[in-house]
Structure 1
Amino acid sequence: MKQKPLILVTNDDGITAPGLRTLIKIMNEIGQVVVVAPDSPQSAMGHAITINSTLYSDKIRIDDGPQVEYSCSGTPADCVKLAVNEILKEKPDLCVSGINHGSNSSINVIYSGTMSAAVEAGIEGIPAIGFSLCDYSWDANFEAIQEHVKQITNSAIKNGLPKGVVLNVNFPKLSEEKIKGIKICRQARATWMEEFDKRTNPQGREYYWLTGKFVNLDKGEDTDEWALENGYVSVVPVQFDLTAHHTIQDLNTWNLND
C-alpha cells in the first residue's frame, strides 16, 4: 500500500492562527503532516528572507493530532527553506500555505506572505497551493470552505501541477451553501490607491500609517475578482518566472549593441 503523501503546512498569520489550525486538520485527513510556521504574524512580508539576523526553530505542540509541528522565528519563505533543508528528511509531496485571514487575490499576490511560502516551495520543485479566505477577522468561519480545500488539494495530488506553477486559491466570505462552485481564473488587473496617515509621536518625530483602497480596474468576467464577487472560489495558476517573454522580440529591435 502506498504511503500517505508527505504534506508541508505553513502560513503567514502565525502558528496559532485559526486558519492554519483548520488547514492542519484538513491535511491530516489526506496525508502525513509536518507544520513549519512563523512564531508570530508575518502578513504582507512578500518573499522576504532572513539573512542579517539569527533564525530559530522550536518543536512545539499546540493541538492534538498526528502532525509534527515547528515554530520558526523567520518569514513564511524562511519556514519553507528551513523545512526543506533542515527539518524534513525527504522532500514533501505537497506544500499548502494558509488558510490566510484575508484576500490574496489579484495584485495582493505580490505582497502576500502566504503565497510567497507557496512560491518558495514551487522554486524547490514542490507542488504548492496557497489558500486564503476573504475575511480578515481572527474569528473567521473556516468551516464553510473545508470541503473545497480538501477537493482542490486531492485534485492537485492526483493530477500534479505543471513545473514552475503554484495555485493561488481564494474563497469568498460566504456560507457553504451559498458558494456556487470553483472557477479557474486569471489574476485581475487591480491596484491599491495608497495614502499615508502622517502623525507625530510624543517626542515630536513624524511617523506614518499606510492606508489605502483596493481598486479593481478589470471588467473581465474571467478574473479572480469577478469570481469572488459572484460567489465562486477562485483558482489562479501563478508562475514565478517573471520574464515578460512577449516583449523580448520588441526589445531586440532597440539595437543596444550598435
Structure 2
Amino acid sequence: MKILISNDDGHFAPGIQTLLQSLQGHPTIQSLTLIAPDRNRSAASNSLTLVNPLRLHLVKQDDEKNTTQYSVNGTPTDCVHLGVNGALGFQPDMVISGINAGANMGDDVLYSGTVAAATEGRFLGKPSIAISLCGETNFDSAAHYFLRIFNDLADIELASDTILNINIPDLPLEQIKGFKVTRLGRRHASEPVVSQLDPRGLPIHWIGPAGSAADSAEDTDFYAVEHGYVSITPLKIDLTHYQALQNLKAWADRISD
C-alpha cells in the first residue's frame, strides 16, 4: 500500500511528523509520501491555488524507510491534488490528513484544512481519513489510537463519498477510554472580531476564537472527546439536502408557470 500524508499545519509540524514515524515500517505499507504546505495553512478549507504556479520542494528522502517528504507553496487541498493527480508519477492508495494540532469537530469541518485534505483525496477516488488531536501535547496518544483504527480498516466498508473524521482527546494514553462513533456537534457563533490599530495607526482586525459547544449531546463528537473517548465521525461529501428536493421542485415548478 502506498500512503499519501498531508495536513494544514505545515510539513514541519510535530503532528504530521509523529504520524509519519508511527507508520514507518508498517508491514502493509510499501511507501510513505508526505506532501504538506510550506507554512501553517490552518482554516484554508477546500481552497485550490489557480492563479499562481505550485512548487513541489523535496525536503527529505529516506530510501531505507521508503519515505519521501515534500513541501508545497499552497493549501492542503493543493498538496493532495498534486499527490493524487499526477505530480508524483504514481498513484497513492490512500490519503491520511493529520495529525492536526487542535480539534476539528462540529462546525470546524467547514473551515478545516485537515478535513479538506481528506475530502480532496476522496474526491479523487482514494479512501481518506482526517485525524486531529484536541490539543497540542499528546501526539503519541493520537498516533497510537490512529494505528488501532488503521490496522482494522479492512473490516469496515465505507461508501465512496465518505471520509472518517477522527478527533482524539489530548490525554496520556492510559487516560483515553476507547472509541465512540459520533455525529457532528455544533458550536455557538465565534467570538467577536478583535479590532486594533497597526503601528501606522491604521485599523486591523483578527478573527475571534471559535465559539463554545452549542450542541454537545451524548452522541456528538464534542461529548465523546470531553469524556475521554476518541471520536470517529463519518462525513458525507455529497452536500445535497435530499429531503428538501421534492418541496423545492414543487416550488420551482410553481414560479416557472
Partner of 2:66: 66
Matched residues in 1 for 2:66 and 2:43: separation? 30
Cα drift, residue 213 of structure 1: 4.4
Aligned pairs for 1:27-42 (under 5 A) are 27-30=23-26, 31=29, 32-42=31-41
> Could you report, residue by residue, the CA deviation over 1:98-146 in whole angstroms, capped at 9, with x for unpaired residues?
00000001110111001100000000010000010011x3xx2212232
Partner of 1:83: 83
Matched residues in 1 for 2:6 and 2:192: separation? 31
Aligned pairs for 1:38-187 (under 5 A) are 38-61=37-60, 65-135=65-135, 137=136, 140-187=137-184
Q: In structure 2, what residue type is equivalent to 1:119?
A: T
SS in 1 for 2:255: coil
Judge conservation of contact 2:185–2:221 (CA < 8 Å) in 1: yes
Matched residues in 1 for 2:145 and 2:10: separation? 23
Aligned pairs for 1:162-241 (under 5 A) are 162-241=159-238
SS in 1 for 2:204: strand
SS in 1 for 2:89: coil
Q: Which runs of 5+ in 2 are unaligned?
A: none
SS in 1 for 2:142: helix
Cα drift, residue 160 of structure 1: 4.4
Once the two structures are aligned, what percentage of the paired residues are identical?
37
Partner of 2:8: 12
The CA RMSD over aligned residues, in Å, is: 1.7
Cα 1:197/1:19, change in 2 over 3 Å: same
Matched residues in 2 for 1:72 and 1:62: separation? 15
SS in 2 for 1:203: coil
Cα drift, residue 205 of structure 1: 1.4
Judge conservation of contact 1:107–1:191 (CA < 8 Å) in 2: no
Tell me the number of residue pairs that the alignment of Structure 1 and Structure 2 aligns: 251
Matched residues in 2 for 1:23 and 1:12: separation? 14
Output the TM-score relative to the length of structure 2. 0.92
Cα drift, residue 157 of structure 1: 4.4
Matched residues in 2 for 1:240 and 1:232: separation? 25
Cα drift, residue 183 of structure 1: 0.8
Cα drift, residue 51 of structure 1: 0.8
Matched residues in 1 for 2:210 and 2:19: separation? 29
Q: In structure 1, what residue type is equivalent to 2:119?
A: V
Q: Which runs of 5+ in 1 are unaligned?
A: none
Matched residues in 2 for 1:91 and 1:184: separation? 30
Q: In structure 2, what residue type is equivalent to 1:29?
A: G
Partner of 1:24: 20
Cα 1:115/1:196, change in 2 over 3 Å: same
> Could you report, residue by residue, the CA deviation over 1:168-225 in whole angstroms, capped at 9, with x for unpaired residues?
0000111111111111111012233331111112322111111134222224211101
Cα 1:171/1:59, change in 2 over 3 Å: same
SS in 2 for 1:211: coil
> Could you report, residue by residue, the CA deviation over 1:138-173 in whole angstroms, capped at 9, with x for unpaired residues?
xx2212232211011222245342111001000011
Judge conservation of contact 2:61–2:67 (CA < 8 Å) in 1: no
Matched residues in 2 for 1:179 and 1:171: separation? 9
Judge conservation of contact 1:192–1:212 (CA < 8 Å) in 2: no
Cα 1:213/1:71, change in 2 over 3 Å: closer
Q: In structure 1, what residue type is equivalent to 2:12?
A: T
